[in-house]
Amino acid sequence: LSGLTLTSAGLGVFAAPETWSWAVNIAMPLICVSLFLGEHAYRGIVFRHIGGHSPVVTMRTLMSPKTWIAS
């Protein structure tokens, strides 16, 4: 994700606005989704003994306020 940030900044400074816009609005979200699904698949294989969840359950857990609030 740091690489995506640096790429975005570099394109913002050195590339045409159309190129930057395409990269930031189309390519980078697709890369992020691919990384999320790839990591989810990897964890499902490596940590098979823990039990698996669907990507939807994982996203629901990450979006839950209970996940991020310390008690």
pTM recorded for the entire structure: 0.71
Q: CA-to-CA distance for 43 and 50, rounded, in angstroms?
A: 10
Identify the pLDDT of residue 43. Answer: 86
Identify the pLDDT of residue 62. Answer: 85
Residuewise pLDDT in 10s, the chain (71 residues): 899 999 999 999 999 999 999 999 999 999 999 998 898 889 888 888 887 778 888 888 888 888 888 76
Q: CA-to-CA distance for 56 and 38, rounded, in angstroms?
A: 14
Q: What own/partner pairs with CB < 8 Å and gap ≥ 24 does 51-54 have? A: none
Beta strands in 1-71 (DSSP E): none
